[in-house]
Structure 1
């Protein structure tokens, strides 16, 4: 199923939840709809599902304009973040619900439910009630119920929000494999960027009702097109006056521009460890955080506090240590653009002749 959205707008009173949003999605893609709370994600999803009516703009599904098509006739499955399971029904009956009200015959219902029990790993749980299941199992029932009528589009509104971190990570992997297996076009809303990066084939980044950028997780991370995307994706630091950073005073920075500096752009250590010491400046370690595979450092450089990563194999640094700080690159950002700039003081060392 191909999806096309053209100039979609939705307001609630004086609040514009979605503002002139356009995008297209190819068949079989798993799309992460990502942004901060109140950014318009759920409103977009509900308009696609037919649960909200746009004030203007059009929604096309497989080339057909569906603005006036009832939700039940759009060929869409919807998974809610709170599962929305029927407490008085067994797992089997919950999964079968959409088929039952669609008046499928009993043999077809039994066959389809058994197929989904196997597909979702719920075989053996079909006679249990929702209160007898874990959060992850209840969410799998919700997925199976949404898939039962064979929808062409699957919509998921923060499907893992009510599940603890360990199970959430397991379900993310399971969902990606499931969608790949059945090949259904899917859109899931999340505010968790790690979740979107791990699961999605493509991401739609929205904020304040506007679409900021669409692309693969790698493309969005490495080539952000706006200041918001550069600062929202990854763990970044905003620098108000990038021209004061060593090396970047030699770069033509537009007046009023700020910069986004990511931890992987920053090298921190003793002077002997820095590849280009002439391009580094002096900093002071303020905090050291253990992140499992690496240490995260908070370093004071002039009037800025930057984040950096340091390997566990390197000599430990402690709060209060004076260090050399080399900023390899940064994003110079303005309201509508983000441009990566390399530190011009990084000069390749002279070759050694033996």
Structure 2
């Protein structure tokens, strides 16, 4: 054997040993030992992440996190949520206080170099809640109005500043530590408007306003906000679990696989469906999961469309259209990666 081949073999052996040693310390192995997933919660954003009257966490971001609990542990209920404000969320990932950040968090350069964003789960814009009685038909009419908002350099604050610059106006800003405080101040009449993510604004209007019909939502800012799931750096297995679990949600929608018909689809004889849903031995081995992890996720949580519809869309009080969040074939930007 040549010296080059010997060196390569030694390198591969060392890599295998290193990987074996590292795998015992992965977050996935810790979750399995612990028996539950720890996920971020918001401080109460309807449709996205908040506990209901019985204390059960509901929402789009919440269900995305439940999918990870199913993939790893086989049970959507083996999960705990930690309510976090904007300032707390990234440190909670870095310190290991939470396993997954799935809480209205937009990927940016500075954030993605602090924690690892893995999947973009929701594309959003910033929305300004205003009272219809204000009769705002032009953004220039926002000049001089007060706006309740969360401080600390949030992207929604940036959207207000961009709107001021674009239309040559100046709004009177009233800052709060948390977006929920800003929301409550707006509905209490302390401000003329309130800015937050567009889907969050729809949720606040639908569930918090005494009369939702009395409020409009104005899209402001120049950018689209890609919200996603983040984890701590340095864990390839967890990265794979997040990426491919979310991919399974989009893939199932593209294949027409739902909670209700998954067993019928599995019996159809489609080779890809059979493989991804766990009929091929060893399918889950590459990411350290049970072969039926994808089947369990769809059976217990549903596909992407089902998660959207029950929390944000047609089957929810919010009635938010899919827009960019639709599959590419339906005019959106989402599409599943191949399973080759």
The normalised TM-score by structure 2 is 0.26
Larger relative helix fraction: 2
Q: Choose 1 or 2 for highest CA Rg.
A: 1
The normalised TM-score by structure 1 is 0.26
Larger relative strand fraction: 1
